A and B are shown apart, each in its own frame.
Chain A
Amino acid sequence: MERSSIIERVLRAVLLTLIVIFFLFPIVWILLMSFQTNEQILRIPPSLSFVPTLENYKALISGHLLTSAGSLDIAFMRNLGNSVLLSTCAVVLALILGVPAAYAFARFKFWLSEDIAFTLLSFRFAPPLLVLLPLSLYFQDLGLVDTYVGLIWVYQLIALPLILWIVRGYFEDISPDIENAYRIAGHSWLRTFFKIAVPLAGPGIAAAGLLSFIFCWNNFVFALVLASADKQPVTVGALAFVTASGIQYGQVAAAIVLSVTPTLLLALYAQRWLVEGLSLGAVKG
Chain B
Amino acid sequence: MIFKKSKDKEPLPAKPVGQLPHAQEGLSYNEWRNKRRYNHKWRNIRWAVVIGLSLLFMLSFMLDLSILEGSLSGSRLVGFYLIDPFNTLQLLSISSRTGFIALLTMNFWIGLMIIVGFYAIMGGRTYCSWICPYHFIAEWVDKLRGYMEKKYKIKNHTFNRSLRYVFWVGFILLAFATSSLVFEVINPVGIISRALIYGPGLILLWIVALVLFELLYSKRFWCSYVCPIGTTMAMVGKASPMVVQFDYEKCGYCGECQKVCEVPHVLWFTKRGKATQKIHTAGADCTRCGYCVDRCPGKALTYSFKGIDKLT
The answer on A and B forming one complex is no
**Residues of chain A whose beta carbon lies under 8 Å from any beta carbon of chain B:** none
Chain B residues with CB under 8 Å of chain A are none
